[in-house]
Amino acid sequence: MPLRGDAMDLPRPFGPYTLLRRLAVGGMAEVYVAKTRGLGGFEKLVGIKVIHPRYSEDEHFVQMLVEEAKLSVLLTHVNIAQTFDLGCIDDTYFIVMELVEGADAYKLLQRAHEHRTPMPIDVCTYVAAEMCNGLDYAHRKKDVSGQPLHIVHRDISPQNVLLSFAGEVKIVDFGIAKAAMRSGQTEVGVIKGKYYY
């Protein structure tokens, strides 16, 4: 069920979900606001990262996606967007995650720059402290046997920090995180993540 076509085709079904609106389009995925339904009219809004179909044929990419989901689902913290599910519908992979209504820190910084208004120091320190809380939790997280996972995000940047309208700070995209549970080491000379961060 490739999601080709434009956002005007929404809402539309996607397995057990209904895609309501598109939030973002990137080189590897599209992110949607979606709804899941249950018994007795139960409904929940979620975010769904739908991987572009061309990446479904790339075994390395699919393995990286599975590793991201397996790692992210272990993390339950107020400053980390929660992962709920990983699936594949008609050769289209997706990750279901907590919906954070708001904007990423990059967009907030862009807006401040456009209006030639510096970000207030108290806002910057609050966001930085909340990010540190989430990153510290991830690094100290232990597996079921009590062994530390030593998770390092490796792509922490303004685009991967979401700020909700309620004032919550949530880290997303642990796709290239390094953890003790992962097999293999980073190749020598390979930079993971965004160069400046």
Per-residue pLDDT of the chain (197 residues; tens, 9 = 90+): 445 555 668 999 999 999 999 998 988 889 999 999 888 889 999 999 999 888 888 888 888 888 878 888 889 999 999 999 999 998 899 999 999 999 999 999 999 999 999 999 999 999 999 999 999 999 999 988 999 988 888 889 999 999 999 999 999 987 666 666 544 444 444 444 554 54
Q: Is 143 a catalytic residue?
A: no
Determine the topology of domain 7-97 in CATH: Phosphorylase Kinase; domain 1 (3.30.200)
Give 77's strand partners.
Answer: 80
Can you say whether the dihedral through the CA atoms of 21, 49, 168, 77 is positive or negative?
positive
- The answer as to CATH 1.10.510.10 being correct for domain 102-171 is yes
**Domain positions in the chain:** 7-97, 102-171
7-97 against 102-171: fold identical: no
Please answer whether residues 151 and 139 qualify as being in contact, where contact means their C-beta atoms are separated by less than 8 angstroms: yes
pLDDT at 45: 97
| Catalytic choice (58, 85, 90, 155) | 155
Q: Residue 140: what are its φ and ψ, rounded to 5°?
A: -90, -5
The secondary structure of the chain in percent helix, strand, coil, rounded to multiples of 5, reads 30, 30, 40
Structure tokens at 146: 């009590």
pTM: 0.83
